[in-house]
Amino acid sequence: MAEIRVLVVSNCESDRRRFSEILPKHGCVVVGAPDYNTIFKLVDGIHDRDVDVILIDLAAMSDQQGIKILRKIKARRIRAGIIVLDPPDMKSFNEVWQLGISGVLSRNQQDGIMDPDKGADVLYAEVVKASRMHVPEDEVKHILEMDPFEVTWEQSLKLDSCGIDEIHRKAHEAKDEWADKKLRKEGFEWLMLCGDWVSGGSIQKLPKPEYLKAFGRGFNRVPFLFIWLH
């Protein structure tokens, strides 16, 4: 199953190692973690679907190296979402925005990407958002027109919050009556439907978001939760 492919660009070995460790835990594939000396050759070899997101650490570079890389990526018209980490000064920050890049993160406490507890979730959320920015409209339209129970986990990652809401609305519209009967028959207070897999239980054992994500990745389908409100 293909996942979000992330190219990490940083001169800082410890940060490259950290990103290469935490992103795969969320189902991402780190396709490379080069430094400035190799990135220009690598960018020349990138095609539209080789990577989904490029993460560039500007603070670890000097003499406008990161800005030069960003300009080259833009000139190549590579269809990948871009996340910029720590523009070192206001000049760099302004240049990032002038290039049309809105995914900007920092290591400070507000963003918390270096936080050992929540940092991985913060970074992954930004990676998902960036990966959606280059999804063609006709591809999104196709996903939204599918049977929601046939939408793969990979496809769901390409939707924004409105798209996710729409497939959940369609799923409940199609299965609410079935789920209500199933809940009453089994004596459950909730049901999870993920592909062909059905599970249920008491409200005290309602699955947490990370549990639903694990099922989604494992079955490569969107997990839908039905709760009996009585």
Question: Do 112 and 146 belong together in one domain?
Answer: no
Give me the number of domains the chain comprises: 2
Question: Do 34 and 121 belong together in one domain?
Answer: yes
Separation of alpha carbons 148 and 12, rounded Å:
42
Tens digits of residue pLDDT in 19-68: 888 888 887 888 765 666 667 666 666 655 577 888 888 776 765 777 78
Question: Do 17 and 58 belong together in one domain?
Answer: yes
Contacts of 117 (CB under 8 A, 6+ apart): none
Contact of 4 with 127, CB cutoff 8 Å: yes
Q: What are phi and psi for residue 191, nearest 5 degrees?
A: -130, 140
pTM of this structure: 0.56
| β-sheet bridge partners, residue 30 | 6
Question: Do 114 and 38 belong together in one domain?
Answer: yes
Q: Which residues of 58-93 are buried (b: 16+ CB within 10 A; e: fewer)?
A: bbbbeeebbbebbeebeeeebbbbbbbbbbeeeebe
Contact of 8 with 19, CB cutoff 8 Å: yes
Question: Do 60 and 97 belong together in one domain?
Answer: yes
Kindly provide the residue ranges of all beta strands, DSSP E only, lying in 134-205, ordered along the sequence: 190-194, 197-201
Question: Do 123 and 59 belong together in one domain?
Answer: yes
Q: What are phi and psi for residue 100, nearest 5 degrees?
A: 80, 25
pLDDT at 23: 85
Mean pLDDT score, 224-228: 87
Separation of alpha carbons 134 and 56, rounded Å:
17
As a whole number of Å, the CA-based R_g of the chain is 20
Kindly provide the residue ranges of all beta strands, DSSP E only, lying in 71-218, ordered along the sequence: 81-85, 103-105, 190-194, 197-201
State which of 132, 149, 181 marks the end of a domain.
132
Q: What percent of the chain has pLDDT over 90?
A: 17
State which of 117, 132, 147 marks the end of a domain.
132
**Quick one: pLDDT band at residue 1, thresholds 50, 70, 90?**
very low
Tell me 116's DSSP state.
T
Question: Do 104 and 189 belong together in one domain?
Answer: no
Domain hosting residue 188, numbered range: 137-227
Which of the residue ranges 22-31, 68-77, 108-117, 216-225 would you say has the lowest mean pLDDT? Answer: 108-117
pLDDT at 81: 80
The CATH code of the domain that includes 85 is 3.40.50.2300
State which of 72, 97, 132 marks the end of a domain.
132
Contact of 191 with 225, CB cutoff 8 Å: yes
Question: Do 153 and 104 belong together in one domain?
Answer: no
